[in-house]
Amino acid sequence: MRAKVDSSLVARFSPLGITSLVTLFLLICVLRTAAQQKGAKTVSASSDPVLQAMRQELARSKSQLKMDNVPPPYYIEYRVTDLDYYEAEAAFGALRQSQRSRSRSARVVVRVGDYKQDSYYGPGTGTVDLAPLEDNPIALRRQLWLATDQAYKQASEALASKKAVLSRFTADQPFDDFARAEALESVGPLAKLEFDPKAWNQTLQQSTALFRTDPKIQSLTASVRFRAQNLYFVNSEGTVTRQGRATYYAMMAGTTQAADGMRLDRSPYYSAASLSELPTPEKFQADMAAMFATLKDLREAPEVEEEYRGPVLFSSDAASDVFSGMIGGNVLGRRPKPGESARTEGDFASSYKSRVLPTFLSVIDDPTLKTFNGKTLVGSYEIDDEGVRAAAVPVIQNGELVNYLMGREPIRDIPASNGHGRAGPGQPPVPSVGILVVQSKQALSPEDLKKKLIEICRREGKPYAYFVDTLSGYNPRLLYRVYEKDGHQELVRGAVFNELDTRTLRNNIVAVGNDLLVSNREAQVPTTVIAPSILFDELEVKRTDAKNAKLPEYPPPDLTPPISDARIRLIPSDRRR
Amino acid sequence: MNRPILRPAVCLLVISCCIPWGAVSSGARTDVLLETMQHELQRATSALSKSNPTPYYLSYTATDINGFFIAGANGSLIASNGFQRRQADVIMRVGSAALDNTHSHSRSTGILSGTLPLNDDPDAIARVLWQLTDREYEQAAAAFLKVKTNTAVQSEEEDKSPDFSQEAPQIHLGDSRAHISLDQRAWEGRIRRVSSEFLKYPEVYSSAVVVQVMDTRSYLATSENTALVRPSAISRLIIQAQTRADDGMELLRVESFQADSADQLPSDSVLTAKVDKIAADLKALRAAPAAEPFAGPALLSGRAAAVFFHEVLGHRLEGHRQRDETEGQTFTKKVNQRVLPAFLTVADDPTMKELNGERLAGFYDFDDEGVPAARVNAVENGILKNFLMSRMPIKNFSNSNGHGRRQPGLMPTGRQGNLIVTSTNTVKESDLRLEFIDQIKKANKPYGLYFEDIQGGFTITGRAMPQAFQVIPVMVWRVYPDGRPDELVRGVDIVGTPLLSLNNIMVTGDTLQVFNGVCGAESGQVPVAAAAPAMLFSEIEVQKRRKGTDRPPLMPPPGLNDMAPASKAKPVASSGAKP
């Protein structure tokens, strides 16, 4: 890289013209996530050629890596992530994408200094490169060798610039830069991706062929993303781990427009750690038909009134989105930038030992759960991506925040990891949710919860209350009025919530259901949220301010008659003549 | 980001990120894709003719790409993927040819892209095209209103040419699908073998061998009744290796090969010999002294001169640059004036498939706007005559000459194809060196510089930046007039201003040499070639390349003097992976 110039002004000539795409690749890496799987037996580290090569190179680096005037590393870690990935998509009854790819990335962290203060800062947070796909020890060690060399050199620069930054602040940091962790050796079974691509592609095509039945459907797609990830980890403290997992994800999406131009969409998905938990082709088709029907219903549904303030019931599906983002996103022990005095980042930075939820609610994060109500959990793991054994962490007890989910970067009052340092392939580890479980001592049955909704509605003299079935972000996608008089439901469209935030969670949840739902969340780091339906005594529902889009400028194309089996069979006989 | 060695592999992986898996391919005789495109285009054109503002031009392009990509390093694969995808580009122009939505900086509103079904399902193809067209209309109509307002408000432009040229429609349905021999497994073995050769050379820190095989079929249908189906196939093999000098300077060697099909790529023995050559070059470069700032006589090999002309002259001949007021417009007002020594003629000729038996990467029959490719004599006997034109007219040049090129997803601009530099002032290659030494003596310089190979470069044509250019010479030798042997130097960068340096050419060799590559600019990456004879410059100015600060790796590579306790690793040279 030479001068930094506006890329549109730069014309380049190179043998392949390819360098500009590096970032794109990294992005793709980021988009591809972790997964999980179990079974088989544990084996020893020495029998795995990848781990063996990593250990050899680590031992060599540990004993030999040393630059003049720079202390040798006090900590080195190698993480190799092997990802086998399949992605397919169909639109309008035809396959648009079907691809399988495998990649391996190697991430190397070298720390200079000591546990109290080290070089993990800016360029000192590690180096990443591609690693060989095959178990070829020399090829892998060569990549590690260069990545380690670079990481060490960057670490020495990082420590200097970190010290310069910290010297601007007077207060001494009351906690270490890096938490100590005990060495452990655990070699788990390798995950494999096993599925029938043809059958899945057919399911995707058949289900999206439903577009033929409704010209007002503007797009209809279905897709799958299957991934098997095997993570190899070694560090200079003696930890050696290998963990495999697989995740299976399927989704469908449709869009349409109401007569007034309002865009309406749906995108239900399925996610599990076992392929057998994804829907059968018949079930997938039926669910597609159901989604299709709700799009039609949404189109014809009345718009929500300008403003409503009153009781709102969230289904467990909608509630899991709320708990995932507003609780899960705020109980992470993320250290703020140097010089900032807050304990963590996020809404609960100053809420330690304070009430953040109603007293009848508790929240625990327990990645060691394997299944719940017979369902696999994608957020399940035994050892985190920093080589620390996962622990069940009660984070909120009777409404009070008592702990944070921690990786190996300590924060004020929490000096050690509790096994929640997790990372996407090639990414630095960060504290993350594993399996977040919302517990209550006084859960109601769904029927009683609905009764309670009607009760509050009656008390406030309202003709109806609201029930949210699914969310899109933090706004309702499927929202129903529930009438006080006879309990019947009416779908509405065009609503947003006003002020749905952590304060509302603390003050306005009045009851929860006993209908705990497993919500597996496919992301860079897969997580699971197990949450009940929740009842708010007061929440504001508003009509959206968004301007309606224009309707299509011209009608969609006419359909050709489907080709019958008979016609297909005619072709070879024609040829014979 | 100091180790770009694996980056090409990484990058190509992205290009080829669609991997087929049980993908469908129809063997139908009639072309369902083209027919569906044409039918849907007609429907859109007639439906949108009632809209206000009205589109006056609509085109659909489908790019059907099929192939595989394999990368290896140190005897192991890093990537091996097959890929198949079909991309659709909808290009729409709203308003009139005199002024439309693509005017000036609103150019990107002319295009919208999406993914088409892999199989020939007419209903699904039509739906995707409809969706894209409707959204493109929304974007183009809004942009056109903005363009109209801006034009009314802003000061008059210097070049008042229309936004789109009139061209005759073309119909050409290319041959049936070019066959692609997809022996991915066999190539995996070859890539492993060739890449393991580098393990013999401890001074090569990192290396990669990459093969990419691509079979493309490009469909174009326009509202002007152009209908084109153009098949093309290309296979590329790249060998790249890197080391670092003791003072931290990064040293890189890249060799690439291309052919119409994978089986025409060089044999293993040729590739292995290339690995040995690259390693030897790198070893010599490590030991070579760093270049000193220098201004004096220089001799450029034909390949080096070809890259030099592509960067310094070629990009400045691209038509659209003469119109964009943020551009430097070096040549805009120099038509019919001398811009080169009178003995030099420069043409861009995409219709040439080969030169001296070597395939030219910039060959095509129609450009990406459906205009037939044509030879453009841009500079005749030193006099500037013409520009490389897309359908964007410029003052005094109202038509395309078949140089509107783009990568799928981007709007076309005038681009180079095969840039051919010829000379009437030639001497035999063998005599050129004598002339060179003569010139060094005349200039009273201690030495001259011989540029044997150039890696490619980049050029800045914008007004905001100095009109400088840089090419990255790799193998550069000091040639002494006193008969001492030539001395390799490292870290040479050519600097200077284009017009001056072009006029320093004194004499050329008599044989054209070809540089094939991929050129990136506003309209994306397109394959190009440049050919030129060796050239003697009375003066070229070089600077010392800014070097990296990192020293070479602190430890030797693993496996060499391996001290790891549990290691039973075999000697390095034989420890490549077994498939």
Per-residue model confidence (pLDDT) at position B53: 96
Quick check: A17 and B518 CB within 8 A? yes
Q: Which residue from A56, A218, A552 is facing B564, i.e. has the nearest CB? A: A56
Mean pLDDT of A186-215: 96
**Residue B512, φ and ψ in degrees, nearest 5:** -80, 135
Per-residue model confidence (pLDDT) at position A338: 78
Examine the domain organization and report whether A347 and A449 are in the same domain: yes
**Residue A375, φ and ψ in degrees, nearest 5:** -100, 140
Mean pLDDT of A553-571: 65
Q: Is the pLDDT of residue A382 over 70?
A: yes
Per-residue model confidence (pLDDT) at position B387: 97
Omega of the bond prior to A367 within 30 degrees of 0, cis?
Answer: no
Domain interval for residue A51: 25-271
The structure tokens 């030193």 sit at B382
Classify B370 in phi/psi space as left (phi over 0), alpha (psi -120 to 50) or beta. Answer: left
Q: Which residues numbered 496-555 in A keep a CB inside 8 Å of some CB on B?
A: 550, 552-555
A324 part of a folded domain? yes
Name the residue in chain A with its Cα closest to that of B53.
Answer: A553
Examine the domain organization and report whether A238 and A364 are in the same domain: no
Q: Which residues numbered 161-190 in B keep a CB inside 8 Å of some CB on A?
A: none
Whether A337 contacts chain B with CB within 8 A: no
Examine the domain organization and report whether A382 and A501 are in the same domain: yes
Examine the domain organization and report whether A393 and A542 are in the same domain: yes
Per-residue model confidence (pLDDT) at position B339: 93
Examine the domain organization and report whether A264 and A143 are in the same domain: yes
A429 part of a folded domain? yes
Strands B227-244 and B171-173: parallel
Per-residue model confidence (pLDDT) at position A562: 60
Per-residue model confidence (pLDDT) at position B518: 84
The structure tokens 């705020």 sit at A330
Examine the domain organization and report whether A326 and A194 are in the same domain: no
d(CA A389, CA B92): 58
Q: Which residue from A129, A133, A219 is facing B6, i.e. has the nearest CB? A: A129
Q: Check which CATH number belongs to the domain holding A255 and give it.
A: 3.30.2290.10
Where do the domains of chain B lie?
Answer: 4-21+30-287, 294-544
Tokens of B325: 């007021």
Q: Is the pLDDT of residue A73 over 80?
A: yes
Per-residue model confidence (pLDDT) at position A257: 96
Quick check: B564 and A61 CB within 8 A? no
Examine the domain organization and report whether A267 and A410 are in the same domain: no
CB distance A186 to A382 below 8 Å = yes
Q: Which of B355, B337, B410, B404 is nearest to B376 (CA)?
A: B404
Per-residue model confidence (pLDDT) at position B466: 43
Residues in A closer than 8 angstroms to B459, CB to CB, are 10-11
Per-residue model confidence (pLDDT) at position B254: 87
A8 part of a folded domain? no
Residue B437 DSSP SS3: helix
Label residue A547 by pLDDT band (50, 70, 90): confident
Whether B555 contacts chain A with CB within 8 A: yes
Examine the domain organization and report whether A352 and A490 are in the same domain: yes
d(CA B141, CA B91): 13
| Lowest pLDDT segment from A17-21, A267-271, B146-150, B158-162 | A17-21
A447 part of a folded domain? yes
Q: Which residue from B19, B121, B555 is facing A101, i.e. has the nearest CB? A: B19
Label residue A21 by pLDDT band (50, 70, 90): very low
Question: Which segments of A371-420 are extended strands (E)?
Answer: 371-372, 375-376, 393-397, 400-401
Label residue A26 by pLDDT band (50, 70, 90): very low
- State how far the alpha carbon of B470 is from the alpha carbons of A81, A433, B456, B463, B465, in Å: 39, 50, 9, 16, 13
Residues in A closer than 8 angstroms to B575, CB to CB, are 136-138
Summarised one tens digit per residue, pLDDT across range A28-48 is: 333 332 233 333 445 677 789
Q: Is the pLDDT of residue A198 over 50?
A: yes
d(CA A29, CA A52): 25
Strands A269-272 and A421-422: unpaired
Per-residue model confidence (pLDDT) at position A174: 83
d(CA A61, CA A72): 10
Q: Is the pLDDT of residue A273 over 90?
A: yes
pTM for the whole structure: 0.88
Q: Which residues numbered 60-89 in A keep a CB inside 8 Å of some CB on B?
A: 60-61, 63-67, 86, 88
Number of CB pairs, chain A paired with chain B, less than 8 A apart: 296
Classify A469 in phi/psi space as left (phi over 0), alpha (psi -120 to 50) or beta. Answer: alpha
Q: Which of B525, B321, B317 is nearest to B405 (CA)?
A: B525
Whether A46 contacts chain B with CB within 8 A: yes
| Overall number of domains in chain A | 2
Per-residue model confidence (pLDDT) at position B301: 96
A279 part of a folded domain? no
Half-sphere exposure of A306 (CA within 13 A, CB side): 0
Q: Is the pLDDT of residue A107 over 90?
A: yes
DSSP letters, A458-514, are HHTT-SEEEEEEEEETTEEEEEEEEETTT--EEEEBSEEEES-SHHHHHHHEEEEES
Indicate the DSSP class of residue A116: S
Summarised one tens digit per residue, pLDDT across range A127-185 is: 999 999 999 999 999 999 999 999 999 999 999 999 888 888 876 778 999 999 999 99
**Which ranges of chain B have pLDDT less than 50?**
1-29, 457-469, 563-579
Whether B236 contacts chain A with CB within 8 A: yes
Per-residue model confidence (pLDDT) at position B499: 63
Name residues whose C-beta falls within 8 Å of residue A503's C-beta, 6 or more positions apart in sequence.
none
Examine the domain organization and report whether A369 and A249 are in the same domain: no
Nearest Cα of chain B lies from the Cα of A295 at a distance, in angstroms, of 18
Name residues whose C-beta falls within 8 Å of residue B226's C-beta, 6 or more positions apart in sequence.
B59, B169, B170, B171, B220, B370
Per-residue model confidence (pLDDT) at position A466: 98
Indicate the DSSP class of residue A435: E
Classify A447 in phi/psi space as left (phi over 0), alpha (psi -120 to 50) or beta. Answer: alpha
Nearest Cα of chain A lies from the Cα of B486 at a distance, in angstroms, of 27
- What kind and span of H or E run contains B482? none
d(CA A530, CA A145): 43
Examine the domain organization and report whether A252 and A316 are in the same domain: no
d(CA B265, CA B122): 37
Question: How big is the CA angle at A27 (ends A26 and A29), to the nearest 5 degrees?
Answer: 65
Class assignment of domain B4-21+30-287?
alpha beta
d(CA A537, CA A501): 14
**Maximal CA-CA distance, chain A:** 93
Quick check: A139 and B73 CB within 8 A? yes
A35 part of a folded domain? yes
